[in-house]
């Protein structure tokens, strides 16, 4: 069974559209994250949620809105897509204190805005 699963794996869309990426984890973790990997492969955190509560918001534009209906799901909705949003988006989960454990990552969603 896949521990952290994201859908879709690939997403190609036009500028100005609104799109969503879904993420689910079956590990029983309290904390979920969204990371963005740019074209140079640099990974940076966007958001973290703990038990459905937003904890970290790393100065991401308001067009990005995460939603956590329950602690096993963290979806990412993006409004008015721009060319610069093209990237690979990774969902991850971990127990609350990440220092002594690992984060488990999904396979990533490659978003291409044309």
Q: Where are the beta strands (DSSP E) in 4-86?
A: 4-7, 10-13, 19-25, 31-37, 43-50, 53-57, 64-70, 73-78
Task: Work out whether 70 is an interface residue with other proteins (CB under 8 A).
Answer: no
For the chain, how many helices (H) and strands (E)?
A: 0, 11
Task: Work out whether 12 is an interface residue with other proteins (CB under 8 A).
Answer: no
Task: Work out whether 107 is an interface residue with other proteins (CB under 8 A).
Answer: yes
Please, what is the minimum distance in Å from the beta carbon of residue 22 to other proteins? 15
Which of these, 46, 48, 54, lies nearest to 87 by C-alpha position? 46
- Which of 56, 64, 65, 73 contacts other proteins by CB under 8 A? 56
Please, what is the minimum distance in Å from the beta carbon of residue 93 to other proteins? 11
CB nearer to other proteins: pick between 70 and 97 = 97
């Amino acid at each position: 069974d896949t521990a952290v699963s994201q859908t879709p794996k690939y997403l190609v869309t036009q500028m100005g559209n609104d799109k969503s990426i879904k993420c689910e984890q079956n590990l029983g973790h309290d904390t979920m994250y969204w990371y963005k990997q740019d074209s140079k492969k640099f990974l940076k955190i966007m958001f973290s949620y703990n038990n459905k509560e937003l904890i970290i918001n790393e100065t991401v534009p308001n067009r990005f809105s995460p939603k956590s209906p329950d602690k096993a799901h963290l979806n990412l909705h993006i409004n008015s897509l721009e060319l610069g949003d093209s990237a690979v988006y990774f969902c991850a989960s971990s127990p609350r204190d990440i220092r002594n454990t690992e984060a488990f990552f999904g396979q990533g969603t490659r978003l291409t805005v044309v």
